[in-house]
Amino acid sequence: MLKLDALRSTPVQHDPFEYLIVKNFVDGEKLKGVLADYPEVPGPGSHPPAGLKISGHFKELIDELLGPSFQHLVEEKFDVDLANRPTMYTVRGFCRARDGKIHTDSKTKIITVLLYMNDDSWESSTGRLRLLRNGTDLENYVAEVEPSGGTLLIFKRADNSWHGHHPFEGRRRAIQINWVTDQSVVDREQGRHGFSSKIKRLFQPSHWMQ
């Protein structure tokens, strides 16, 4: 499903931090099957796989993303050894108006992967992730990532890896994968997101499920 050659040929940008963007990273025909099997998520926020139905073409995609070929290529591109680093992933389906605030990701994260799972094009002018030069100004950006289906963003976490987007509310699908410092991070984060996901499933307004 993954166009690894496209990733291999995409140079890493170093200004102001290390990142790369690959459009159409997932084969177009296979992306349709992945979107058809995209799990139902109970509202906005990040949801760990334990509370979701991960199956079909979506599971095939996740298996490839967590497989050795993709990991080795990420290691090569970002000159980092991930051999003994745990991975975790979460699934997003919706965005709230208060999401997208500028941040850098926690220091426990080494590499962040975002694979967007929306339609072929993104019509809204908001909800487009911006990679920033500082932690205060969304207009001072070096790249803007359209969250259209199959768009891949990878960056190495740093103290200046600022990113965020203008407020958007509605469906905004994405898979996030992180290589992290140790297993305790996975246990803590997956547990936190899992508890939040259960609460959302119980009390989320019905419009988030549409």
Residue 144 is part of which domain span? 4-205
Give the chain's residues under pLDDT 70: 191-210
pLDDT in tens, 68-118: 999 999 999 999 999 999 999 999 999 999 999 999 999 999 999 999 999
What does the buried/exposed string (b/e) look like for 116-136 if buried means 16 or more CB atoms within 10 Å of the residue's CB? bbbeeebeeeebbbbbbbeee
Q: What is the pLDDT of residue 210?
A: 45
Read off the CATH number of the domain in which 37 is found. Answer: 2.60.120.620
Residue 51: C-alpha distances to residues 45, 120, 139 (Å)? 13, 27, 37
Is 210 part of a structural domain of the chain? no
Is 194 part of a structural domain of the chain? yes
Is 85 part of a structural domain of the chain? yes
Is 41 part of a structural domain of the chain? yes
Q: Give the predicted TM-score (pTM) of the model.
A: 0.90
Is 170 part of a structural domain of the chain? yes
pLDDT in tens, 69-79: 999 999 999 99
Whole-number Å distance between alpha carbons of 3 and 150: 10
Q: What is the pLDDT of residue 209?
A: 47
Is 24 part of a structural domain of the chain? yes
Residue 145: C-alpha distances to residues 50, 81, 142, 164 (Å)? 28, 26, 10, 10
| Count of structural domains within the chain | 1
Helix and strand element counts for the chain (H, E): 5, 8
Q: What is the pLDDT of residue 189?
A: 73
